Amino acid sequence: MTTAAGSSPLRSLAIVGVLFFIIGFFTWINGPLITFVQLAFDLDEVNAFLVLMVFYLSYFFLALPAAALLKRTGMKKGLAASLFVMAVGAAMFGEFSTQRWYPGALSGLFVIGGGLALLQTAVNPYVSILGPIESAAQRIALMGICNKVAGMLAPLVLGTLVLHGVGDLAAQVEAADAAGKAVLLDAFAAKIHLPYLVMAGVLVVVAIGILFSPLPEVKPSEVNAAPIAGAANDERGLSRFPHLWLGVLCLFLYVGVEVLAGDAIGTYGRGFGLPLDQTKLFTTYTLFAMLAGYLVGLALIPRVVSQERYLAISATLGVLFALGALLTHGYVSVGFVAALGFANAMMWPAIFPLAIKGLGRHTETGSALLIMGIAGGAVLPQAFAVLKQHYDFQVVFAGLAIPGYLYILYYALAGHRVGTAKRAATDVPERGIMADSPP
Protein backbone atom coordinates (compact mmCIF):
# COMPACT_ATOMS: atom_id res chain seq x y z
CA MET A 1 0.00 0.00 0.00
CA THR A 2 1.28 3.42 -0.98
CA THR A 3 0.39 6.30 1.34
CA ALA A 4 1.80 9.68 2.16
CA ALA A 5 4.21 9.99 5.01
CA GLY A 6 2.47 10.11 8.37
CA SER A 7 -0.91 9.13 6.95
CA SER A 8 -3.10 6.39 8.42
CA PRO A 9 -4.91 3.84 6.21
CA LEU A 10 -7.81 3.72 8.70
CA ARG A 11 -8.08 7.50 8.74
CA SER A 12 -8.01 7.54 4.94
CA LEU A 13 -10.79 4.95 4.80
CA ALA A 14 -12.84 6.99 7.29
CA ILE A 15 -12.56 10.09 5.10
CA VAL A 16 -13.45 8.09 2.01
CA GLY A 17 -16.38 6.63 3.96
CA VAL A 18 -17.78 10.15 4.38
CA LEU A 19 -17.52 10.64 0.62
CA PHE A 20 -19.34 7.36 -0.04
CA PHE A 21 -22.05 8.50 2.38
CA ILE A 22 -22.50 11.63 0.26
CA ILE A 23 -22.56 9.56 -2.94
CA GLY A 24 -25.24 7.31 -1.47
CA PHE A 25 -27.43 10.13 -0.24
CA PHE A 26 -27.50 12.02 -3.54
CA THR A 27 -27.86 8.83 -5.61
CA TRP A 28 -30.69 7.17 -3.72
CA ILE A 29 -32.74 10.28 -3.13
CA ASN A 30 -33.69 9.99 -6.82
CA GLY A 31 -36.31 7.31 -6.10
CA PRO A 32 -38.57 9.54 -3.98
CA LEU A 33 -37.66 12.50 -6.21
CA ILE A 34 -39.61 10.76 -8.98
CA THR A 35 -42.69 10.98 -6.78
CA PHE A 36 -41.90 14.62 -5.99
CA VAL A 37 -41.44 15.83 -9.57
CA GLN A 38 -44.40 13.86 -10.90
CA LEU A 39 -46.71 15.76 -8.55
CA ALA A 40 -44.90 19.12 -8.34
CA PHE A 41 -44.52 19.49 -12.11
CA ASP A 42 -47.73 17.60 -12.99
CA LEU A 43 -45.94 14.98 -15.12
CA ASP A 44 -46.67 11.51 -16.44
CA GLU A 45 -44.42 8.60 -15.45
CA VAL A 46 -42.22 8.73 -18.56
CA ASN A 47 -41.33 12.38 -18.01
CA ALA A 48 -40.89 11.89 -14.27
CA PHE A 49 -38.31 9.16 -15.00
CA LEU A 50 -36.19 11.80 -16.75
CA VAL A 51 -34.88 12.41 -13.22
CA LEU A 52 -32.96 9.15 -13.53
CA MET A 53 -32.03 9.56 -17.18
CA VAL A 54 -30.52 13.03 -16.77
CA PHE A 55 -28.76 12.15 -13.51
CA TYR A 56 -27.11 8.98 -14.78
CA LEU A 57 -26.34 10.26 -18.28
CA SER A 58 -24.13 12.90 -16.67
CA TYR A 59 -21.75 10.08 -15.75
CA PHE A 60 -21.51 9.03 -19.39
CA PHE A 61 -20.68 12.50 -20.66
CA LEU A 62 -18.46 13.71 -17.85
CA ALA A 63 -16.47 10.70 -16.59
CA LEU A 64 -13.62 11.01 -19.12
CA PRO A 65 -13.30 14.80 -18.65
CA ALA A 66 -13.28 14.09 -14.91
CA ALA A 67 -10.38 11.67 -15.33
CA ALA A 68 -8.44 14.28 -17.33
CA LEU A 69 -9.12 16.90 -14.66
CA LEU A 70 -7.95 14.59 -11.88
CA LYS A 71 -4.62 14.04 -13.61
CA ARG A 72 -4.08 17.81 -13.51
CA THR A 73 -5.41 18.61 -10.05
CA GLY A 74 -4.46 15.54 -8.03
CA MET A 75 -6.83 13.65 -5.78
CA LYS A 76 -7.53 16.08 -2.92
CA LYS A 77 -8.21 19.10 -5.12
CA GLY A 78 -10.26 16.93 -7.48
CA LEU A 79 -12.39 15.58 -4.63
CA ALA A 80 -12.95 19.08 -3.25
CA ALA A 81 -13.86 20.35 -6.72
CA SER A 82 -16.41 17.56 -7.13
CA LEU A 83 -18.15 18.54 -3.90
CA PHE A 84 -18.25 22.21 -4.91
CA VAL A 85 -19.83 21.22 -8.24
CA MET A 86 -22.44 19.13 -6.43
CA ALA A 87 -23.21 22.08 -4.15
CA VAL A 88 -23.92 24.27 -7.17
CA GLY A 89 -26.20 21.57 -8.62
CA ALA A 90 -28.09 21.15 -5.34
CA ALA A 91 -28.71 24.90 -5.12
CA MET A 92 -29.89 24.92 -8.75
CA PHE A 93 -32.30 22.03 -8.22
CA GLY A 94 -33.82 23.61 -5.11
CA GLU A 95 -34.27 26.99 -6.79
CA PHE A 96 -35.67 25.78 -10.10
CA SER A 97 -37.96 23.26 -8.40
CA THR A 98 -39.41 26.07 -6.29
CA GLN A 99 -40.09 27.97 -9.52
CA ARG A 100 -41.60 24.77 -10.97
CA TRP A 101 -39.40 25.00 -14.07
CA TYR A 102 -38.66 21.36 -14.91
CA PRO A 103 -35.81 21.88 -17.44
CA GLY A 104 -33.98 23.97 -14.84
CA ALA A 105 -34.52 21.35 -12.14
CA LEU A 106 -33.18 18.66 -14.48
CA SER A 107 -30.14 20.82 -15.22
CA GLY A 108 -29.47 20.94 -11.48
CA LEU A 109 -29.59 17.15 -11.32
CA PHE A 110 -27.22 16.97 -14.30
CA VAL A 111 -24.74 19.21 -12.46
CA ILE A 112 -25.04 17.09 -9.31
CA GLY A 113 -24.39 14.00 -11.44
CA GLY A 114 -21.37 15.70 -13.00
CA GLY A 115 -19.90 16.34 -9.56
CA LEU A 116 -20.57 12.73 -8.61
CA ALA A 117 -18.88 11.55 -11.83
CA LEU A 118 -15.74 13.41 -10.78
CA LEU A 119 -16.03 12.13 -7.22
CA GLN A 120 -16.58 8.51 -8.24
CA THR A 121 -13.84 8.57 -10.88
CA ALA A 122 -11.39 9.40 -8.11
CA VAL A 123 -12.69 7.56 -5.11
CA ASN A 124 -13.55 4.12 -6.57
CA PRO A 125 -10.08 3.22 -7.89
CA TYR A 126 -8.61 4.82 -4.77
CA VAL A 127 -10.36 2.45 -2.39
CA SER A 128 -9.69 -0.46 -4.76
CA ILE A 129 -5.92 0.06 -4.59
CA LEU A 130 -5.62 1.13 -0.94
CA GLY A 131 -4.48 -2.41 -0.28
CA PRO A 132 -4.30 -5.77 -2.13
CA ILE A 133 -6.52 -5.78 -5.23
CA GLU A 134 -7.72 -9.31 -4.31
CA SER A 135 -9.39 -7.97 -1.16
CA ALA A 136 -10.69 -4.79 -2.78
CA ALA A 137 -14.28 -6.07 -2.65
CA GLN A 138 -14.04 -6.19 1.14
CA ARG A 139 -12.92 -2.56 1.36
CA ILE A 140 -15.54 -1.43 -1.15
CA ALA A 141 -18.14 -3.33 0.90
CA LEU A 142 -17.23 -1.18 3.91
CA MET A 143 -17.70 1.89 1.75
CA GLY A 144 -20.93 0.39 0.44
CA ILE A 145 -22.29 0.22 3.98
CA CYS A 146 -21.70 3.97 4.31
CA ASN A 147 -23.32 4.43 0.89
CA LYS A 148 -26.42 2.40 1.64
CA VAL A 149 -26.96 3.76 5.16
CA ALA A 150 -27.10 7.19 3.51
CA GLY A 151 -29.35 5.76 0.82
CA MET A 152 -31.74 4.42 3.45
CA LEU A 153 -31.84 7.81 5.15
CA ALA A 154 -32.43 9.81 1.97
CA PRO A 155 -36.02 8.61 1.28
CA LEU A 156 -36.87 8.99 4.96
CA VAL A 157 -35.54 12.57 5.06
CA LEU A 158 -37.30 13.57 1.84
CA GLY A 159 -40.43 11.70 2.89
CA THR A 160 -40.56 13.52 6.23
CA LEU A 161 -39.62 17.02 5.08
CA VAL A 162 -41.23 17.14 1.63
CA LEU A 163 -43.45 14.15 0.84
CA HIS A 164 -45.37 13.91 4.13
CA GLY A 165 -49.08 13.52 3.30
CA VAL A 166 -48.38 13.33 -0.42
CA GLY A 167 -51.26 10.92 -0.98
CA ASP A 168 -53.81 13.33 0.48
CA LEU A 169 -52.25 16.23 -1.44
CA ALA A 170 -52.52 14.31 -4.72
CA ALA A 171 -56.22 13.80 -4.04
CA GLN A 172 -56.69 17.51 -3.28
CA VAL A 173 -54.87 18.49 -6.47
CA GLU A 174 -57.06 16.13 -8.47
CA ALA A 175 -60.23 17.72 -7.09
CA ALA A 176 -59.10 21.38 -7.32
CA ASP A 177 -59.80 23.82 -10.15
CA ALA A 178 -56.91 25.27 -12.19
CA ALA A 179 -56.22 28.19 -9.82
CA GLY A 180 -56.45 26.06 -6.69
CA LYS A 181 -54.26 23.39 -8.26
CA ALA A 182 -51.53 25.96 -9.02
CA VAL A 183 -51.59 27.24 -5.43
CA LEU A 184 -51.34 23.74 -3.98
CA LEU A 185 -48.50 22.70 -6.28
CA ASP A 186 -46.55 25.94 -5.77
CA ALA A 187 -46.66 25.43 -2.01
CA PHE A 188 -45.66 21.78 -2.36
CA ALA A 189 -42.74 22.52 -4.71
CA ALA A 190 -41.42 25.24 -2.38
CA LYS A 191 -40.92 22.64 0.36
CA ILE A 192 -37.87 21.26 -1.52
CA HIS A 193 -35.96 24.56 -1.44
CA LEU A 194 -34.60 24.64 2.13
CA PRO A 195 -33.50 20.96 2.26
CA TYR A 196 -31.46 21.37 -0.94
CA LEU A 197 -29.91 24.65 0.24
CA VAL A 198 -28.84 22.88 3.44
CA MET A 199 -27.35 20.05 1.36
CA ALA A 200 -25.43 22.58 -0.72
CA GLY A 201 -24.02 24.19 2.42
CA VAL A 202 -22.95 20.85 3.87
CA LEU A 203 -21.18 19.97 0.61
CA VAL A 204 -19.20 23.22 0.71
CA VAL A 205 -18.12 22.56 4.30
CA VAL A 206 -17.01 19.01 3.48
CA ALA A 207 -15.15 20.24 0.39
CA ILE A 208 -13.14 22.67 2.51
CA GLY A 209 -12.50 19.90 5.03
CA ILE A 210 -11.15 17.62 2.29
CA LEU A 211 -8.63 20.27 1.21
CA PHE A 212 -7.18 20.38 4.72
CA SER A 213 -7.52 16.67 5.47
CA PRO A 214 -4.63 14.17 5.78
CA LEU A 215 -5.99 12.14 2.84
CA PRO A 216 -2.87 10.90 0.98
CA GLU A 217 -2.23 11.18 -2.72
CA VAL A 218 -2.13 7.69 -4.28
CA LYS A 219 -1.25 7.30 -7.95
CA PRO A 220 -3.18 4.32 -9.37
CA SER A 221 -0.65 3.81 -12.16
CA GLU A 222 2.06 3.13 -9.59
CA VAL A 223 0.23 0.65 -7.37
CA ASN A 224 -2.03 -1.20 -9.83
CA ALA A 225 0.73 -2.68 -11.97
CA ALA A 226 -0.08 -5.19 -14.67
CA PRO A 227 0.29 -8.83 -13.56
CA ILE A 228 2.30 -9.53 -16.71
CA ALA A 229 5.45 -7.52 -17.29
CA GLY A 230 5.10 -4.86 -19.94
CA ALA A 231 1.38 -5.38 -20.54
CA ALA A 232 0.27 -2.04 -19.13
CA ASN A 233 2.93 -0.19 -21.12
CA ASP A 234 1.88 -1.64 -24.44
CA GLU A 235 1.36 1.16 -26.96
CA ARG A 236 -1.94 -0.33 -28.05
CA GLY A 237 -3.34 0.90 -24.76
CA LEU A 238 -6.72 -0.23 -23.49
CA SER A 239 -7.41 -2.42 -26.51
CA ARG A 240 -4.96 -4.74 -24.78
CA PHE A 241 -7.44 -5.41 -21.98
CA PRO A 242 -10.73 -6.93 -23.22
CA HIS A 243 -11.68 -7.79 -19.63
CA LEU A 244 -12.02 -4.04 -19.04
CA TRP A 245 -14.42 -3.50 -21.95
CA LEU A 246 -16.50 -6.50 -20.93
CA GLY A 247 -16.46 -5.02 -17.43
CA VAL A 248 -17.81 -1.70 -18.70
CA LEU A 249 -20.81 -3.50 -20.21
CA CYS A 250 -21.16 -5.53 -17.01
CA LEU A 251 -21.22 -2.37 -14.89
CA PHE A 252 -23.69 -0.75 -17.32
CA LEU A 253 -26.12 -3.63 -16.87
CA TYR A 254 -25.48 -3.89 -13.13
CA VAL A 255 -26.27 -0.22 -12.47
CA GLY A 256 -29.34 -0.56 -14.68
CA VAL A 257 -30.78 -3.45 -12.67
CA GLU A 258 -29.70 -1.84 -9.39
CA VAL A 259 -31.62 1.36 -10.20
CA LEU A 260 -34.60 -0.68 -11.38
CA ALA A 261 -34.73 -2.40 -8.00
CA GLY A 262 -33.98 0.72 -5.97
CA ASP A 263 -35.48 3.76 -7.67
CA ALA A 264 -38.21 2.19 -9.81
CA ILE A 265 -39.63 0.01 -7.03
CA GLY A 266 -42.13 2.72 -6.03
CA THR A 267 -43.51 2.86 -9.56
CA TYR A 268 -43.49 -0.95 -9.63
CA GLY A 269 -45.57 -1.03 -6.44
CA ARG A 270 -48.04 1.52 -7.79
CA GLY A 271 -48.59 -0.87 -10.69
CA PHE A 272 -50.45 -3.07 -8.17
CA GLY A 273 -52.47 -0.09 -6.94
CA LEU A 274 -50.57 0.20 -3.65
CA PRO A 275 -51.00 3.52 -1.77
CA LEU A 276 -48.69 6.42 -2.68
CA ASP A 277 -47.85 7.07 0.99
CA GLN A 278 -46.39 3.56 1.16
CA THR A 279 -44.68 3.32 -2.23
CA LYS A 280 -42.68 6.52 -1.57
CA LEU A 281 -40.64 4.56 1.01
CA PHE A 282 -40.08 1.35 -0.98
CA THR A 283 -36.56 2.43 -1.97
CA THR A 284 -35.57 2.16 1.69
CA TYR A 285 -36.56 -1.52 1.72
CA THR A 286 -34.30 -2.27 -1.25
CA LEU A 287 -31.42 -0.43 0.42
CA PHE A 288 -31.98 -2.30 3.68
CA ALA A 289 -31.59 -5.54 1.71
CA MET A 290 -28.41 -4.13 0.11
CA LEU A 291 -27.02 -3.28 3.53
CA ALA A 292 -27.62 -6.88 4.61
CA GLY A 293 -25.86 -8.05 1.45
CA TYR A 294 -22.85 -5.86 2.20
CA LEU A 295 -22.57 -7.26 5.72
CA VAL A 296 -22.66 -10.84 4.42
CA GLY A 297 -20.12 -10.04 1.69
CA LEU A 298 -17.87 -8.30 4.18
CA ALA A 299 -17.86 -11.42 6.35
CA LEU A 300 -17.21 -13.86 3.50
CA ILE A 301 -14.85 -12.07 1.05
CA PRO A 302 -12.05 -13.04 0.65
CA ARG A 303 -11.73 -15.37 3.66
CA VAL A 304 -14.43 -17.84 2.60
CA VAL A 305 -15.11 -17.09 -1.06
CA SER A 306 -13.36 -15.09 -3.78
CA GLN A 307 -14.91 -11.88 -5.06
CA GLU A 308 -15.49 -13.38 -8.52
CA ARG A 309 -17.23 -16.46 -7.06
CA TYR A 310 -19.42 -14.30 -4.86
CA LEU A 311 -20.31 -12.23 -7.92
CA ALA A 312 -21.52 -15.40 -9.64
CA ILE A 313 -23.63 -16.30 -6.60
CA SER A 314 -25.10 -12.78 -6.52
CA ALA A 315 -26.00 -12.89 -10.22
CA THR A 316 -27.73 -16.24 -9.74
CA LEU A 317 -29.75 -14.81 -6.85
CA GLY A 318 -30.66 -11.88 -9.08
CA VAL A 319 -32.16 -14.20 -11.68
CA LEU A 320 -34.11 -16.14 -9.03
CA PHE A 321 -35.48 -13.03 -7.29
CA ALA A 322 -36.48 -11.46 -10.61
CA LEU A 323 -38.36 -14.65 -11.51
CA GLY A 324 -40.01 -14.57 -8.08
CA ALA A 325 -41.19 -11.00 -8.72
CA LEU A 326 -42.63 -12.05 -12.07
CA LEU A 327 -44.53 -15.05 -10.71
CA THR A 328 -46.10 -13.35 -7.67
CA HIS A 329 -48.27 -10.27 -7.10
CA GLY A 330 -48.80 -7.38 -4.71
CA TYR A 331 -46.61 -6.99 -1.67
CA VAL A 332 -44.96 -10.37 -2.23
CA SER A 333 -43.80 -9.35 -5.70
CA VAL A 334 -42.54 -6.02 -4.32
CA GLY A 335 -40.71 -7.99 -1.65
CA PHE A 336 -38.85 -9.96 -4.33
CA VAL A 337 -37.88 -6.69 -6.04
CA ALA A 338 -36.59 -5.34 -2.73
CA ALA A 339 -34.67 -8.61 -2.20
CA LEU A 340 -32.77 -7.82 -5.40
CA GLY A 341 -30.95 -5.31 -3.22
CA PHE A 342 -29.30 -8.24 -1.43
CA ALA A 343 -28.23 -9.76 -4.74
CA ASN A 344 -26.97 -6.42 -6.03
CA ALA A 345 -25.00 -5.42 -2.96
CA MET A 346 -21.64 -7.01 -3.74
CA MET A 347 -21.73 -6.62 -7.52
CA TRP A 348 -20.07 -3.21 -7.78
CA PRO A 349 -17.42 -4.17 -5.17
CA ALA A 350 -16.55 -7.23 -7.25
CA ILE A 351 -16.92 -5.91 -10.81
CA PHE A 352 -14.87 -2.74 -10.39
CA PRO A 353 -11.61 -4.30 -9.11
CA LEU A 354 -11.90 -7.23 -11.51
CA ALA A 355 -12.24 -4.82 -14.44
CA ILE A 356 -9.32 -2.51 -13.51
CA LYS A 357 -6.97 -5.27 -12.39
CA GLY A 358 -3.57 -4.96 -14.05
CA LEU A 359 -4.27 -1.79 -16.04
CA GLY A 360 -1.18 -0.03 -14.70
CA ARG A 361 -0.78 3.44 -16.22
CA HIS A 362 -4.20 3.04 -17.85
CA THR A 363 -5.99 2.71 -14.49
CA GLU A 364 -7.36 6.28 -14.39
CA THR A 365 -8.77 6.08 -17.92
CA GLY A 366 -10.10 2.57 -17.40
CA SER A 367 -11.81 3.71 -14.21
CA ALA A 368 -13.41 6.61 -16.09
CA LEU A 369 -14.76 4.19 -18.70
CA LEU A 370 -16.28 2.10 -15.93
CA ILE A 371 -17.84 5.20 -14.39
CA MET A 372 -19.38 5.92 -17.82
CA GLY A 373 -21.06 2.54 -17.48
CA ILE A 374 -23.17 4.06 -14.71
CA ALA A 375 -25.28 5.39 -17.59
CA GLY A 376 -27.06 2.04 -17.40
CA GLY A 377 -29.03 3.69 -14.60
CA ALA A 378 -30.42 6.06 -17.21
CA VAL A 379 -31.27 3.55 -19.92
CA LEU A 380 -32.89 0.55 -18.22
CA PRO A 381 -35.27 2.45 -15.90
CA GLN A 382 -36.37 4.74 -18.75
CA ALA A 383 -36.99 1.66 -20.89
CA PHE A 384 -39.11 0.29 -18.05
CA ALA A 385 -41.12 3.53 -17.82
CA VAL A 386 -41.76 3.59 -21.56
CA LEU A 387 -42.44 -0.12 -22.14
CA LYS A 388 -44.82 -0.45 -19.17
CA GLN A 389 -47.16 1.93 -20.98
CA HIS A 390 -47.69 -0.81 -23.60
CA TYR A 391 -46.98 -4.14 -21.85
CA ASP A 392 -47.52 -5.73 -18.46
CA PHE A 393 -45.15 -3.98 -16.05
CA GLN A 394 -44.08 -7.24 -14.36
CA VAL A 395 -43.10 -8.79 -17.69
CA VAL A 396 -41.21 -5.64 -18.67
CA PHE A 397 -39.33 -5.57 -15.36
CA ALA A 398 -38.31 -9.22 -15.63
CA GLY A 399 -37.45 -8.85 -19.33
CA LEU A 400 -34.98 -6.08 -18.49
CA ALA A 401 -33.55 -7.54 -15.28
CA ILE A 402 -33.02 -11.23 -16.06
CA PRO A 403 -30.80 -10.79 -19.18
CA GLY A 404 -28.73 -8.26 -17.21
CA TYR A 405 -28.12 -10.72 -14.39
CA LEU A 406 -27.26 -13.49 -16.86
CA TYR A 407 -24.55 -11.33 -18.42
CA ILE A 408 -23.18 -10.48 -14.97
CA LEU A 409 -23.04 -14.22 -14.30
CA TYR A 410 -21.02 -14.69 -17.50
CA TYR A 411 -18.56 -11.97 -16.48
CA ALA A 412 -18.12 -13.55 -13.05
CA LEU A 413 -17.46 -17.00 -14.48
CA ALA A 414 -15.38 -16.18 -17.56
CA GLY A 415 -15.57 -12.60 -18.81
CA HIS A 416 -13.14 -11.10 -16.29
CA ARG A 417 -10.44 -13.50 -17.54
CA VAL A 418 -10.86 -12.83 -21.27
CA GLY A 419 -7.55 -11.82 -22.82
CA THR A 420 -5.38 -12.84 -19.87
CA ALA A 421 -4.14 -16.07 -21.45
CA LYS A 422 -3.41 -14.29 -24.73
CA ARG A 423 -1.31 -11.64 -23.00
CA ALA A 424 0.57 -14.35 -21.17
CA ALA A 425 1.31 -16.21 -24.38
CA THR A 426 2.57 -13.13 -26.23
CA ASP A 427 4.39 -11.29 -23.46
CA VAL A 428 6.08 -14.01 -21.46
CA PRO A 429 8.28 -15.60 -24.17
CA GLU A 430 9.59 -12.17 -25.12
CA ARG A 431 10.54 -11.28 -21.57
CA GLY A 432 11.38 -14.66 -20.16
CA ILE A 433 9.17 -14.45 -17.06
CA MET A 434 6.63 -16.78 -15.51
CA ALA A 435 3.14 -16.59 -16.96
CA ASP A 436 1.33 -17.00 -13.67
CA SER A 437 -0.27 -13.84 -12.33
CA PRO A 438 -0.68 -13.18 -8.61
CA PRO A 439 -3.61 -15.02 -7.03
Q: What is the pLDDT of residue 436?
A: 27
Within 263-329, where are the H helices?
265-270, 276-279, 282-300, 307-327
Average pLDDT rounded to a whole number, residues 160-177: 90
Q: Which among 174-183, 227-236, 273-282 has the top mean pLDDT?
A: 174-183
Average pLDDT rounded to a whole number, residues 198-215: 92
Q: What is the DSSP letter of 360?
A: G
Q: What is the pLDDT of residue 131?
A: 66
Rounded to the nearest integer, the mean pLDDT of the chain is: 85
- Report CA Rg, the chain: 22
Give residue-wise pLDDT tens across range 61-105: 988 898 888 878 887 888 999 999 999 999 999 999 999 999 999
Give residue-wise pLDDT tens across range 14-23: 888 999 999 9
What does the alpha-carbon distance between residue 158 and residue 161 come to, in Å, rounded to a whole number? 5
**CA-based nearest residue to 3, from 304, 300, 15:** 15
* Confidence category of residue 433, pLDDT binned at 50, 70, 90: very low
Write down the CATH number for the domain with range 9-427.
1.20.1250.20
Residue 142 makes CB contacts below 8 A (sequence gap 6+) with 13, 17, 298
* CB-count burial class (<10 Å; 0-12, 13-18, 19+) for 55: buried
Q: What is the DSSP letter of 163?
A: S
Q: What is the pLDDT of residue 166?
A: 87
Q: What is the pLDDT of residue 73?
A: 83
Q: What is the pLDDT of residue 112?
A: 96
Q: Return the domain boundaries, the chain.
A: 9-427
